[in-house]
Amino acid sequence: MPERRRGSRRLAAMCVGETQGSPPPSGRLYDKERHYRVLDQDGQPILKNGIHITESYPPESISGTCYLGNPQTGDGYTNSTGEFQDHYFLSVGAPNPCTTTATQHHFADGRQVSTYTVTWTYSGVTIQELEC
């Protein structure tokens, strides 16, 4: 059996649920909260508190009319079940109608775990899994 080198492990993140904030927080037209779980290379949850989660939207992947700049990014940590949250929202003042599409990447302790296409419109947001 080939030897697996340290650091070659493939991690992933899987969506495990979402909620729509109603009413949305002040200053937002809407706010969708999505929950993800970090998985190991065998698709099993990593039950670890404190995995650092970051996200990015590569500038070349962003197109549309809802944002004047890039979508807001954030970071956080997993809980003891390996879950983390992400918020997808549009701020008050966006043009109506509008649509913006971007590619989103999540990273767990610096290692990419997911890629999604996110589409914001004036009335809501959809997140399409590309790989996970």
Structure tokens at 1: 């059996």
Of 2.60.40, 1.10.3470, 3.30.365, 3.90.700, which CATH number belongs to 12-131?
Answer: 2.60.40
| Residue tagged 């992947």 (tokens) | 61
pTM of the model as a whole = 0.84
**CA-CA distance, 35 to 17, in Å (whole number)?**
5
CB–CB of 39/46 below 8 Å? yes
- In one-letter notation, the amino acid at residue 22 is S
- Give the residue ranges of the chain where pLDDT is below 50: 1-8, 132
So what's the pLDDT on residue 119?
95
So what's the pLDDT on residue 59?
93
**CA-CA distance, 99 to 82, in Å (whole number)?**
32
Query: What are the sequence ranges of the domains in the chain?
Result: 12-131
CB–CB of 87/111 below 8 Å? no
